[in-house]
Amino acid sequence: MKVLVAVKRVVDYNVKVRVKADGMGVETANVKMSMNPFDEIAVEEAVRLKEAGKATEIVVVSVGPTQAQETLRTALAMGADRAILVQTDVETQSLGVAKALKALAEKEQPGLVILGKQAIDDDANQTGQMLAALLGWAQGTFASKVVPAEGTIAVTREIDGGLETVELKLPAVVTTDLRLNEPRYASLPNIMKAKKKPLETVDAASLGVDLTPRLKTLKVAEPPKRAGGVKVGSVQELVAKLKTEARVI
Amino acid sequence: MLITEEQAMVRDMARAFARERLAPGAAERDRTSAFPADELKAMGELGLMGMLVPEEWGGAGTDILSYVLAIEEIAAGDGAISTIMSVHNSVGCAPILKFGTPAQKERYLRAMASGQMLGAFCLTEPQAGSDASALKTRAVRDGDHWVINGAKQFITNGQNAGVALVFAVTDPAAGKKGISAFLVPTDTPGYTVARLEHKLGQRCSDTAQIVFDNVRVPHEAMLGEPGQGYRIALANLEGGRIGIAAQSVGMAQAAFNAARDYARERTSMGVAIIEHQAVAFRLADMATRIEAARQLMLHAASLRQAGQPCLKEASMAKLFASEMAERVCSDAIQTFGGYGYVDDFPVERIYRDVRVCQIYEGTSDIQKLVISRNL
């Protein structure tokens, strides 16, 4: 079974994000960029499936600027076999990316597509679901456990009430949650090998996909600063404030 | 200096590993002096223990820039572990790679490159440091064997190494050309850990005095030719010194990061202390000094990578970086005030860990001697 994994280049999770002066986005100049952590989990799961003999080839895909090649190399160093960059300089949005992934899925014919459940930049949490809908494939989102069988895959999902396990008919789309696995560090020999693995660059037009943004960003702002708390003198005062000010009881 | 995409990947991997796997336990290891066996095993699996060893001998086969970038990051996580790594790569693996026979490489290098066996470098003696020609340890030929007697001082990994590279006088009349090198498995009868040092810092890295009491090894244990020992000892001098510079930069960076983050959080007189110019300017100076040292270090590494002479540049990098690091760590403590002096925060430990960078692999005074002779 071939596995397609989608990864996104985002601001590194250790960076303290700052809003740009024009309020139209966040500062990315001279900021460390890395693979979206949920996508790292997706790559790791694919590599584990291959190591377990359940997957035969791992193709890693990114939609984004030329620099996203670095992100793809990281995935190759973790154990993916080859990479495809859908090169674009426009702001990537969920629907456009889902369409590009659909085109690639039709071309590559994978048995399974694995994506992070969301990217830590826009936290949209849509691409996987949109991709499954566009392809008409089954989807298992927020996976904390993935067990492939013959022609099916059991996905344990983290939901509000606890865990739910669904069985999907392959081909299918799976999106990863934090507890699915702990991604490995790319070993030095694998980093050295990564540069010899194939990395193909295509443009969206050649896939017949229009990546033009459909959503317009109006304003990006810092979250409001947390105000200091208040000390209450008695239980009565606390209950009164919870009722009248916080309105939680 | 601009680095390649691949070098950046190596650095990023080492940084993530150091941040997630080394830094959290560094204070505990400092308290207990517990040898970091698990951490070194993981580092071996990642290829960090045989970085400059080619793939055919089980190493990672990276370039020197990748190596120093990784040392810097590991040092930022735990300075003591970076010393174990540096000694193992630089004077453990490298001499065997350069001077070893295929049989010696098969027996030692393969296991060392994957981190399964640690190496120790036994040159310094109680009465002979940088003056290697004053060695007193003797190896006397007895048929097909050599019998080694003597004592070695300040041996990193002395207790935990699987093999020790031992320098001994084989021809007392020949001076420096009478020194030979031997690969001695540490389970050889007579290899004795006489003492473990109690140190100011870098406590989880063992530093031992080793006594060789009639240690008998076959002639095949000799590394290189008879009388080649001094050359072997000095062959990777530059590499070792650039490595210490990288450790200094890494530890200074870690102390700086802690001070910067604290200065953003800690408030006095109603504002974060980083808003006070005295604190902000000190941090600016610290960051500038670290960057200057890093560039000296990377420049020396790039010369060595290109096979160009870099004796002076390596000494300059080591001298500047190690002295810079003590100053920056001291400034980091100052930024924390009283909290910098207690072990709730990492800066007092880093200050102790980094001090030895001005001493080992040639003291600052020796570096100045080398530089002054190359003016």
**What single string gives the DSSP state of each residue in A171-221?**
SEEEEE-GGG--PPPPPHHHHHHHTTS-EEEEEGGGGT-----SS------
What is the token pair recorded at B95? Answer: 């001499």
Rounded Cα distance, B64 and B317, in Å: 15
**Contact assignment for B46 to A192 by CB distance below 8 Å:** no
At A192-201, the pLDDT tens digits run: 999 999 999 9
Bridge partners of B151, per DSSP, are: B211
B8 interface with A at CB cutoff 8 Å: yes
Q: Does A62 score more than 90 pLDDT?
A: yes
Which residues, given as ranges, of chain B have pLDDT below 50? none
Q: Does A126 score more than 90 pLDDT?
A: yes
Closest C-alpha among B188, B183, B176 to residue B122: B183
CA distances from A87 to A63, A100, A106, A120, A205 (A): 6, 11, 18, 20, 10
Q: Which residues of A touch B61 (CB under 8 A)?
A: 189, 192
Amino acid in the structure at residue A122: D
B369 interface with A at CB cutoff 8 Å: no
- Residue B43 pLDDT: 98
- CA-based nearest residue in chain A for residue B13: A185
**Contact assignment for B60 to A194 by CB distance below 8 Å:** no
Total domains in chain A come to 1
**Contact assignment for B46 to A185 by CB distance below 8 Å:** yes
Strand duo A152-159 + A138-148: pairing: antiparallel
Are B311 and B319 in contact by the 8 Å Cβ rule? The answer is no
Q: Which long-range contacts (CB under 8 A, 24 or more apart) does A28-31 make?
A: none
CA distances from A31 to A14, A17, A27, B18, B70 (A): 10, 9, 7, 20, 20
- Residue B252 pLDDT: 98
Note which residues in 160-189 of chain A have CB less than 8 A from chain B. 185-189
B291 interface with A at CB cutoff 8 Å: no
In chain A, the N- to C-terminal Cα span, in Å, equals: 54
Say which residues have a Cβ less than 8 Å from residue B170's Cβ, sequence separation at least 6: B138, B139, B140, B141, B146, B178, B179, B180, B226, B227, B229
* DSSP, residue by residue, chain A: -EEEEE--EEE-TTS---B-TTSSSB--TT--EEE-HHHHHHHHHHHHHHHTTS-SEEEEEEEE-TTHHHHHHHHHHHT-SEEEEEE--SPP-HHHHHHHHHHHHHHH--SEEEEES--TTT----HHHHHHHHHT-EEEEEEEEEEE-SSEEEEEEEETTEEEEEEEESSEEEEE-GGG--PPPPPHHHHHHHTTS-EEEEEGGGGT-----SS------PPPPPPP----SSHHHHHHHHHHTS---
Could you tell me the pLDDT band of residue A246, with boundaries at 50, 70 and 90? confident
Chain A interface, mutation test: which of B4, B7, B12, B265, most A Cβ atoms within 10 Å? B12
CA distances from B41 to A233, B48, B208, B327 (A): 56, 10, 21, 33
Amino acid in the structure at residue B194: A
Rounded Cα distance, B25 and B6, in Å: 29
- CA-based nearest residue in chain A for residue B52: A188
B89 interface with A at CB cutoff 8 Å: no
CATH number at residue A32: 3.40.50.620
**Contact assignment for B9 to A74 by CB distance below 8 Å:** yes
- CB nearest to B47's CB, from A69, A73, A189: A189
Cis omega before residue B218 (within 30°)?
A: no
Say which residues have a Cβ less than 8 Å from residue A48's Cβ, sequence separation at least 6: A181
- Domain range enclosing A139: 2-245
Chain B interface, mutation test: which of A185, A187, A190, A225, most B Cβ atoms within 10 Å? A185
Q: Does A33 score more than 80 pLDDT?
A: yes
Strand duo A199-203 + A82-87: pairing: parallel
Rounded Cα distance, B149 and B136, in Å: 9
Rounded Cα distance, A17 and A92, in Å: 19
Rounded Cα distance, B261 and B253, in Å: 12
Across the A:B interface, residue pairs with CB atoms under 8 Å apart total 49
B221 interface with A at CB cutoff 8 Å: no
Closest C-alpha among B6, B130, B137 to residue B60: B6
- CA-based nearest residue in chain B for residue A77: B9
Rounded Cα distance, A59 and A6, in Å: 9
In chain B, the N- to C-terminal Cα span, in Å, equals: 24
Rounded Cα distance, B332 and B347, in Å: 7
Chain B interface, mutation test: which of A69, A74, A191, A195, most B Cβ atoms within 10 Å? A191
- Extended strands (E) in chain B: 119-122, 138-142, 145-156, 163-169, 179-185, 191-196, 207-218, 222-223, 267-268, 271-272
Rounded Cα distance, B273 and A133, in Å: 52
Q: Which residues of B touch A188 (CB under 8 A)?
A: 10, 13, 46-48, 51, 60, 62, 66
- Residue A249 pLDDT: 83
At A135-194, the pLDDT tens digits run: 999 999 999 999 999 999 999 999 998 999 999 999 999 999 999 999 999 999 999 999
C-beta atoms surrounding B87 within 10 Å: 24
Bridge partners of B152, per DSSP, are: B210
- CA-based nearest residue in chain A for residue B60: A189
**Catalytic pick from B73, B326, B348, B361?**
B361
Q: Is B361 a catalytic residue?
A: yes
Closest C-alpha among B74, B194, B218 to residue B125: B194
Domains of chain B: 5-118 (1.10.540.10), 120-225 (2.40.110.10), 231-373 (1.20.140.10)
- CB nearest to B10's CB, from A34, A69, A188: A188
- Residue A85 pLDDT: 98
**Contact assignment for B45 to A194 by CB distance below 8 Å:** no
**Contact assignment for A185 to B48 by CB distance below 8 Å:** no
